[in-house]
Structure 1
């Protein structure tokens, strides 16, 4: 599995906005934002941001749902 890439974050007034390829993936506030900033200093920022954003949509969900092998699920 390739390493995560394309993530960036912006911190402003205690709020952290994580983007993926320029699109907002998640927003962290309060304790979660503070914990994130501490973790980024210690570890791989791309990996941490990928973990926090979870399984964000890729844009092909509707197409996969309508595929013949997925009918009846």
Structure 2
């Protein structure tokens, strides 16, 4: 996975607001917010936030699309 960066989070009561380069990415509530706060202490926070926001698939999409195994999916 490429380096994730630019993520920040703030805790507002029982909610966690995650932003990416200053723009709102996701708001976690309830159990997901509590789990995030617990995991952020022991894991890489940037990678964790990238995975939670879905912003982690970068760089290999074109390579995978051109792989022979995936040619039939493109209708070739």
Output the TM-score relative to the length of structure 1.
0.72
Aligned to 1:61: none
Greater RCO between the two (CA within 8 Å, min separation 6)? 2
2:16 equivalent to 1:20: no
Question: TM-score, structure 2 length as denominator?
Answer: 0.69
- Following TM superposition, by how much is the alpha carbon of 1:55 offset from its aligned partner in structure 2, in angstroms? 4.1
Per-residue displacement from partner, 1:9-29 (whole Å, max 9, x unpaired)?
Answer: 000111000000000000000
SS of the residue 2:2 aligns to:
coil
CA RMSD of aligned residues (A): 1.5
After superposition, residues 20-39 of structure 1 pair within 5 angstroms as 20-39=20-39
Query: Tell me, which stretches of 5 or more residues in structure 1 are unaligned?
Result: 57-73
- Give the aligned partner of residue 40 of structure 2: 40
Q: How many residues align?
A: 56
Q: Which runs of 5+ in 2 are unaligned?
A: 57-76
